[in-house]
Structure 1
Amino acid sequence: MSTGLDLSQFFDTFFDEAGELLADMEQLLLGLDIDNPDIDQLNAIFRAAHSIKGGAGTFGCFGQLTDTTHLLENILDALRRGEMSLRQDMIDLFLETKDVLTDQVAAYRASQQPDAETYERICAQLRQLAQEKKDAGTPGAKPAPASQPVSQPEVETPASSPAMEAVQASADGLPLHVRLLNVNEKDAAALRDEMALLGDVLHTQAHADGLSIWLSTTASVSDIEAVCCFIIDEKQVKIVPEPVPSAQASVVAQPQEAAAQPVAAGQSKAAAQPAIAEPPKAAAPAKPAEGKPAAQVGKPSAAAKDSSSTIRVGVEKVDQIINLVGELVITQAMLVQMASTLDPVVHDRLLNGIEQLDRNARDLQEAVMSIRMMPMDYVFSRFPRVVRENATKMGKRIRLVTQGQATELDKSLIERIIDPLTHLVRNSLDHGFELPDDRIAAGKNPEGTLTLSAQHNGGQIVIEVSDDGTGLSREKILKKAMSQGFPVNESTPDEELWQLIFAPGFSTAAVVTDISGRGVGMDVVRRNIQGMGGHVHLSSRAGQGTTTRIVLPLTLAILDGMSVRVGDETFILPLSHVTESLQPAPEQVYSISETEKMLHVRGEYLPIVALHQVFDVGSAEADISKSIAVILKAEEVRFALLVDHLIGQHQVVVKNLEANYRKIPGVSAATILGDGSVALIVDVFALMRFTRERVAA
């Protein structure tokens, strides 16, 4: 006996889709005009709640999620019909409900039960809001705008529709004719088993383009369609109330029995199938109600893309492909290395093939990397709520502007940048913006503007957080820095002084708040961004505002690097930090102590760092005038790195050294060269910090 389809295999798909719908719901709620709400937005919010409720109800094991969305859905339905007037406290409650739903989805995903106390509390608040409608009655409610009549979204089925008639007919004892179009044998068998779980299968008939099942059930049409749509597309399902064909009315044919009937000798398999019996024209299959929410479970939402053109793939599978492509690139580099010793006349065809492999491997690598790229809107979309709630709490008026939402970044980086950006936004809200009265007194618009922007710049992405607030106070920062023992004085340039904001424990906030002021956030920001191979820079003008700029590589899987040799060792320098290279002349080198030296380059004195001393490499060139100085830049700090030879520039596949061995100071990762040897990738930020500490000492 078949146990039917295991719906748990669709849980992850439902959870992913519910998360997308909740994110869309939040954005729509934040965009609502309280005085004149857009009916299309209200309908979209209602559809999101309705879809989540329908999907959760189909599985039957997510009770709290189903109940909460049902209560929310009822209130949203009254709002979009003009039976209730939208208020600010309603939006606040809806946003809080969205947070509760998000926590419920997360709990169910982790195979846990959501918090019962939170569930009871939010449901009580929703019921209280719903009771207001009952107490007030519909007369006098604010009607929908005349220019925007209340449209019936596709998730609803009018009472006179064929689908509703089918439900009523089934309740009256008339079976439902479930017609499955263009299904293969495997899917047809699975669907027959599922129909048997929903009720009694009275009769089945195979036909040229699929299968017909007559089902006696108390399940709704939406439930039947939802189950079918786990396996096939909703366009392949048609349901209509219809009696069992008269020739078969006295025969109950279960699918297992029909499948067990032997085929007579000389009779084809097709001839042994039940006769095709088209239903009478009067009961022709009607078009099912469109957009049933439950039918969407297991497929991308309508707000996403057409299910026929997209596929949902786990990140771990993409990462596995990226690792395999990385290994392919390494193997290809080995072949190129070995082929470099071959005679091009004798091995012309082989060398041409390796050259073609080189091009194909690079194209494949870029194509696979693009799969893991995500738009910055994934990050930016969560800040309207942060700005709204914190601005309200502080009594400030702040407008959020986002630019470059379509700019793409590697998924592994885009998730790690959320926390640093949140720190910067909250810090700007707390310290950057004045109160409305203070802005008016300063001749400004009482409403401040916070801008989040992203753009590509070569092989990097530049993310900026800008405000038009008060700007940084040089006097306050200088006083605080001197009191904490930082090496600054009255002549310290502004740009250098601003960077102290990122020092551990540094804060000019007079009062510690729940938003910022503890002096830990900005240090975490810089450390996290440096951990992603990027850097952060802060600029400000008094009375005009502050801008924080973050520069990140587009991905951490591959790296454009410059390979250098020190003694017998090869190191990789990230090309994004290399500004130039030169051979120092003796007159360019200045000693400031017995061990510390500076390099004079075009009017600028740069600290000299010998790479062989950092990593204790023997047999390296000790004479500075015979070495190569590579000028590196990190966080607006420039220094000269001494190496023996420059080998060349090329892309390298980044391998996590810490996961495979252990963390090494001054090394960010490793790579495998074409000859099979391992080369260490230098951590430029670690060298920069080493240089700063040495100079300060």
Structure 2
Amino acid sequence: MASIDLKRFHRAFFEESFEGLDIMEAGLLRLDPAQPDAETLNGIFRAAHSIKGGAGTFGFSGITDYTHVLEALLDEMRAGRRALNASDIDLLLRATDALRQLLVAARDEQPVDAALTEAVHAELTGCLHGEKAGAAAAPVAAKADAAEGWRMVFAPHAGLFMSGNDPLRILRELATLGDAKIDAVDAALPAFDALDPEQCCLSWKIDLRGAVSRDAIVDLFAWVEDECDLTIEALAAASVPASSVTPVAALPAAAPSKAATRPGADATSIRVSTSKIDAMIDLVGELVITQAMLQQQASHIDPAVAEALLQGLAQLDRHTRLLQEAVMSTRMLPVDAVFSRFPRVVHDLAGRLGKQVRLQTIGESTELDKSVIEKIADPLTHLVRNSLDHGIESEDARRAAGKDPAGTLTLRAAHQGGHIVIEVADDGAGLDRRRILAKAAERGLSCDASMTDSEVWQLIFAPGFSTAAQVTDVSGRGVGMDVVKRNIESLGGRVEIGSQTGRGTCVTIRLPLTLAIVDGMSVAVGNDVFILPLPAIIESLQPSADQVKRVAGQGQVARVRDEYVPLVALHDWFSLPARPRPVHEAILVIVEAEGHKLALQVDALVGQQQVVIKSLETHYKRVPGVSGATILGDGRVALIADVGEIVRLATRAAAA
């Protein structure tokens, strides 16, 4: 028989292992050392055990050896033989980090940082061999370990192979615990011509001699406990009646955690490569464009002549939109994919800063496009670090202010229309208005005491702005906030700040749900059509002649509601030919980005529509003021204006 290439299963193993690590970390952060939850401990143990078992199957011996001592320590804790304290949790968190590095190195076939993993492994070993838990648990353990050996009957269910389990691997690992005598039982084996290679028809009788605890044996079979019949009895008690034998399934254990879920156990979901989803989205985008072309051509047909055709096209339009929404939903992930990293961040930073901080997450199930989630993680991390370092006060300062010594950091997500709103709020001291104004004046920024609070808060987005009394390696409220704002606005979003002295600060981020589709306004510029993203548009109007003025050295401005706004004609911006016309015959579209407004002069408003974004850089090159392109119903290419860049460049030119 040809050997099986196990490498084709590696991807699933690593995906499952990283999921298990995430659940281990989340469980450790939830544990209360004073009253550890048995179910949580059991879930952490099962995750480690699953990783160890998979690593052994695929020959990753370094991971198996490392996880063995981690698993043993966790087993001591869940069995009550070792008391749990805060330092143990910190050690286990560091051990999880080291295990993650081992998995990454194995996945990428790269060398691992041996010094780090060996140091953590030594700590785990020392902790394992240290003082045990209270005397109450000791007699039970001693009794359980007093047996000279164990007699087992292991009868896998027929469908065991279908879950990817190998009984021979378990038997080989069992033989490493002591002197094992293993006899196969083939009574259920059918005739040769009736054999099914995907069915397990053998069972085994095993005598294991040596100083082995029952728990160690149970742990070996934990991976298949729901897929076999197993009995275990002490060899010294071989005459005990069969009724006293306890099957593994009856042992007290917590419900299987997410970490213990085996590949293929959940038939309601499958793993699909994002490249396949992206290809499907591209095809649906082409379908939407083709449907729009057909709809435009059909608009010239007499309804009385082709009524059935038009009805079919209307139905095609509805189905195309539904298909587009369904396909786009496959890229949507809960924002918890980002929020889940912050319990660890808060735990570690609060410990370094000597603060007590509670983390609250609200709306974790709110969904967002995968591409947006990947790009919002870094800005959110910066905001969280700022809140911990300079937002939430020290315990002494909070007590002096009559507050709970433990601060609260809240991450909240919710849908609002076609956007998602994410808030990072703390109940700290809030922003200091006078200090910000003084720092801004010192840096030569335009500011004065008559500015509103919201205008003052925007000053912290100036490059390099910081009011921190001293630089730390954690953060400085304002340090890098310009980068945070720039990253958010590059996603078509915007960021706002609200603060109350003594009560805290809230940073609000508004983002589009997806970067693959944009709601836009089609505008005509000469013979060309451009798309302006709707979220950036404030209003559109046809100005009167006296609303447009020319300012020496600054070009044209438009007076809109007693405010003068710089005016940019798009045909000039993109160097397009256009027939001269009086300004009052044109249309002004007022847009806003980065806190600045701009009036864009166009020839006409064509209409509002949802367009599929195509990358211009992929097919051509980077064009200033253009974020992408789309194909219109008549087959023409329309450029999607990068309003943020146009506003930034036009404002900079006017200031110069």
Q: Residues 620 and 488 from structure 1, CA distance in 2 versus in 1: closer, same or farther, beyond 3 angstroms? A: farther
Quote the Cα distance in structure 2 between the aligned partners of 1:303 and 1:470: 47
Matches within 5 A, 1:351-390: 351-390=310-349
Query: C-alpha deviations, 1:422-470, integer Å up to 9, x for none?
Result: 0111011111111111122222222211111111111111111111111
Tell me the residue number matched to 2:27. Answer: 28
1:575 and 2:534 matched: yes
Q: Which of 191, 194, 200 pairs up with 1:206? A: 194
Tell me the residue number matched to 1:199. Answer: none
Query: C-alpha deviations, 1:104-157, integer Å up to 9, x for none?
Result: 111111122322222211110100001104xx576366999xxxxxxxxxxxxx
Q: Residues 143 and 468 from structure 1, CA distance in 2 versus in 1: closer, same or farther, beyond 3 angstroms? A: farther
Supply the AA of the counterpart residue of 1:99: D
Supply the AA of the counterpart residue of 2:183: L
1:465 and 2:456 matched: no
Matches within 5 A, 1:640-679: 640-679=599-638
Matches within 5 A, 1:294-693: 302=261, 307-517=266-476, 521-593=480-552, 595-693=554-652
Q: Residues 41 and 178 from structure 1, CA distance in 2 versus in 1: closer, same or farther, beyond 3 angstroms? A: farther
Quote the Cα distance in structure 1 between the aligned partners of 2:302 and 2:472: 72
Displacement of 1:477 after TM fit?
Answer: 1.8
1:175 and 2:184 matched: yes
Query: C-alpha deviations, 1:39-92, integer Å up to 9, x for none?
Result: 1111111111111111111112x1221122211111111111111110111000
Query: C-alpha deviations, 1:578-606, integer Å up to 9, x for none?
Result: 23211111233344436533333334433
Displacement of 1:554 after TM fit?
Answer: 0.4
Moved more, 589-598 or 440-449: 589-598
Secondary structure, aligned partner of 2:592: strand
Q: Residues 568 and 34 from structure 1, CA distance in 2 versus in 1: closer, same or farther, beyond 3 angstroms? A: same
Q: Residues 600 and 137 from structure 1, CA distance in 2 versus in 1: closer, same or farther, beyond 3 angstroms? A: closer
Quote the Cα distance in structure 2 between the aligned partners of 1:126 and 1:509: 39
Displacement of 1:531 after TM fit?
Answer: 1.8
Check whether the contact 1:606–1:640 (CA below 8 A) recurs between aligned residues. Answer: yes
Q: Residues 238 and 5 from structure 1, CA distance in 2 versus in 1: closer, same or farther, beyond 3 angstroms? A: farther
Moved more, 610-619 or 398-407: 610-619
Displacement of 1:471 after TM fit?
Answer: 1.4
Q: Which of 94, 108, 123 pairs up with 1:110? A: 108
Q: Residues 306 and 362 from structure 1, CA distance in 2 versus in 1: closer, same or farther, beyond 3 angstroms? A: farther
Check whether the contact 1:387–1:429 (CA below 8 A) recurs between aligned residues. Answer: yes
Check whether the contact 1:637–1:688 (CA below 8 A) recurs between aligned residues. Answer: yes
Tell me the residue number matched to 1:47. Answer: 46
Secondary structure, aligned partner of 1:613: helix
The number of equivalent residue pairs is 605
Quote the Cα distance in structure 2 between the aligned partners of 1:338 and 1:225: 67
Moved more, 449-458 or 539-548: 539-548
Check whether the contact 2:150–2:207 (CA below 8 A) recurs between aligned residues. Answer: no
Quote the Cα distance in structure 2 between the aligned partners of 1:54 and 1:473: 55
Check whether the contact 2:47–2:259 (CA below 8 A) recurs between aligned residues. Answer: no
Check whether the contact 1:478–1:488 (CA below 8 A) recurs between aligned residues. Answer: yes
Work out the percentage of aligned pairs sharing the same amino acid.
50
Matches within 5 A, 1:77-92: 77-92=75-90
Quote the Cα distance in structure 1 between the aligned partners of 2:264 and 2:182: 40
Secondary structure, aligned partner of 1:679: strand
Q: Residues 48 and 216 from structure 1, CA distance in 2 versus in 1: closer, same or farther, beyond 3 angstroms? A: closer
Secondary structure, aligned partner of 1:609: strand
Quote the Cα distance in structure 2 between the aligned partners of 1:179 and 1:512: 73
Q: Residues 239 and 552 from structure 1, CA distance in 2 versus in 1: closer, same or farther, beyond 3 angstroms? A: same
Supply the AA of the counterpart residue of 2:194: A
Displacement of 1:411 after TM fit?
Answer: 0.8
Secondary structure, aligned partner of 2:614: coil
Quote the Cα distance in structure 2 between the aligned partners of 1:546 and 1:432: 7
Structure 1 vs Structure 2 CA RMSD: 3.6
Check whether the contact 1:466–1:548 (CA below 8 A) recurs between aligned residues. Answer: yes
Quote the Cα distance in structure 2 between the aligned partners of 1:430 and 1:10: 44
Q: Residues 542 and 520 from structure 1, CA distance in 2 versus in 1: closer, same or farther, beyond 3 angstroms? A: closer
Supply the AA of the counterpart residue of 1:139: A
TM-score by length of 1: 0.79
Quote the Cα distance in structure 2 between the aligned partners of 1:377 and 1:207: 47
Secondary structure, aligned partner of 2:460: helix
Quote the Cα distance in structure 1 between the aligned partners of 2:134 and 2:79: 10
Quote the Cα distance in structure 1 between the aligned partners of 2:292 and 2:250: 54
Q: Residues 562 and 159 from structure 1, CA distance in 2 versus in 1: closer, same or farther, beyond 3 angstroms? A: farther
Matches within 5 A, 1:171-320: 172=181, 174-177=183-186, 204=192, 206=194, 211=199, 213-214=201-202, 302=261, 307-320=266-279
Moved more, 171-180 or 31-40: 171-180
1:64 and 2:62 matched: yes
Quote the Cα distance in structure 1 between the aligned partners of 2:260 and 2:581: 64
Supply the AA of the counterpart residue of 1:130: L
Quote the Cα distance in structure 2 between the aligned partners of 1:538 and 1:178: 74
Displacement of 1:565 after TM fit?
Answer: 0.6
TM-score by length of 2: 0.84
Q: Residues 450 and 212 from structure 1, CA distance in 2 versus in 1: closer, same or farther, beyond 3 angstroms? A: closer
Displacement of 1:616 after TM fit?
Answer: 1.8
Q: Residues 143 and 494 from structure 1, CA distance in 2 versus in 1: closer, same or farther, beyond 3 angstroms? A: farther
Displacement of 1:226 after TM fit?
Answer: 12
Q: Residues 305 and 637 from structure 1, CA distance in 2 versus in 1: closer, same or farther, beyond 3 angstroms? A: farther
Quote the Cα distance in structure 2 between the aligned partners of 1:51 and 1:478: 56
Quote the Cα distance in structure 2 between the aligned partners of 1:143 and 1:643: 86
Secondary structure, aligned partner of 1:163: strand
Check whether the contact 1:179–1:211 (CA below 8 A) recurs between aligned residues. Answer: no
| Stretches of structure 1 lacking an aligned partner (at least 5 in a row) | 145-157, 181-201, 242-281
Supply the AA of the counterpart residue of 2:277: V
Displacement of 1:173 after TM fit?
Answer: 5.0
Tell me the residue number matched to 2:161. Answer: none
Secondary structure, aligned partner of 2:183: coil
Check whether the contact 1:405–1:453 (CA below 8 A) recurs between aligned residues. Answer: yes
Quote the Cα distance in structure 2 between the aligned partners of 1:413 and 1:18: 25
Check whether the contact 2:183–2:205 (CA below 8 A) recurs between aligned residues. Answer: no
1:163 and 2:154 matched: yes
